[in-house]
Chain A
């Protein structure tokens, strides 16, 4: 087998016990990528599972709230490349405000690199062995999500002048990574503990 050959190792079939559910839950966590202590983060059984996400001292994650379907567009898409295909991951949200503090935040969003942990509505709760391991995913962990667009349209009847933001990781070497530590409750505790300030 050639170096780093990609193969498949299992059947491709629908999950009949845990039917797929679209969309994300209403709260996601956004972290400045520079605030992550990558040396202390721990991968689980494979490179597709993270069990520990640790921040540098004094740093915190922030919450992003969804109203309606304001996260709509979040997802991942393969990018065709000559030698090894990559993935483009997108996370969209709307900032329903426009005060000076929001503008300061928009400045940070426009120029920073971010990591986002989102909660899927599809949990895979009945999965044997690791129930609920499809609940949380982290996007931008490898390269970081960067702002593609940040738009405030005063006459837009949907956003009503709020900031419509699209973050994207282009050329990512992998799909968003699953976050799962022991069980889903423990994972949730760990993720909630990212918010410290």
Chain B
């Protein structure tokens, strides 16, 4: 009798799932208090500065301004706020395969949320505009095959 009870207990434990860990964004290591503090104090390492510049160019689809003494710090917090507001959107911007030509602003009349320039372009938005207005294809600088 006691032997049977023991077997049942073992089975129950094996069925319990381990708690799922929250998925950590690949950008999370950059957006931590320590780096934020050093960004304010302009004490970032050259590697960190380089990473911020590259990330800014990749996410904003435009060059990081370099004409002021606190441009890196400003860029860092612009990225930080964008990431904090919506990590998925941040990923979408980073992963965008399309590029528009300079000055192009695609509009969907009646739906301002679909307006886009290079700065907020995502694959989804680009495909939306190409689907509903194939004529705008000529306004793209890069379209993935």
Q: How large is the interface on B (under 10, 10 to 19, 20 to 34, 35 or more residues)?
A: 20 to 34
Say yes or no: A37 contacts B101, CB within 8 Å.
Answer: yes
A181 and B105 contact, Cβ closer than 8 Å, known pairs A192-B119, A195-B62: yes
**Which residues of chain B are within 8 angstroms of A56 by Cβ–Cβ distance?**
101
Tell yes or no: A194 within 8 A of B by CB: yes
Q: A54-B139, A58-B141, A186-B115 are in contact. Are A196 and B105 (CB under 8 A)?
A: no
Q: Is the CB of B115 within 8 A of A55?
A: no
Complex contact B67–A63 (CB within 8 A): yes
B63-82 interface with A by 8 A CB criterion: 63, 65, 67
- The answer to whether B101 and A189 have CB atoms under 8 Å apart is no
State the majority secondary structure of interface residues on B.
loop
Chain A residues within an 8 Å CB radius of B63: 195-197
The answer on a CB contact under 8 Å between B62 and A196 is yes
Q: Give the bracket for the number of chain A residues in contact with chain B.
A: 20 to 34
Whether A193 contacts B115 in the complex (CB less than 8 A), given A40-B139, A57-B141, comes out as: no
In the complex, B100 has a CB within 8 A of chain A: yes
Give Cα distance in the complex from A35 to B65, angstroms.
21
Between B65, B100, B105, the greatest number of chain A beta carbons within 10 A of the residue's beta carbon is seen for: B105
Q: Chain A nearest CB: distance from B51 CB in Å?
A: 20
Residue from the list B104, B107, B138 in contact with A193, Cβ < 8 A: B104
Asked if A142 CB lies within 8 Å of chain B CBs, one says: no
Contact with B along A46-74 (1 / 0, CB 8 A): 00000011111111110101000000000
Asked if A190 is at the interface of the complex by the 8 Å CB criterion, the answer is yes
Could you list 29 examples of A-B contacts with CB < 8 Å? A35-B102, A40-B101, A52-B105, A53-B103, A54-B101, A54-B102, A54-B104, A54-B139, A55-B103, A56-B101, A57-B141, A59-B101, A59-B102, A60-B102, A61-B103, A63-B67, A65-B67, A186-B107, A190-B103, A190-B104, A190-B105, A193-B100, A193-B104, A193-B117, A193-B119, A194-B102, A195-B102, A196-B102, A196-B118
Give B residues with C-beta under 8 Å from A: 61-63, 65, 67, 99-105, 107, 115, 117-119, 138-139, 141
| Contact surface of A with B, Cβ cutoff 8 Å | 35, 37, 40, 52-61, 63, 65, 181-182, 186, 189-197
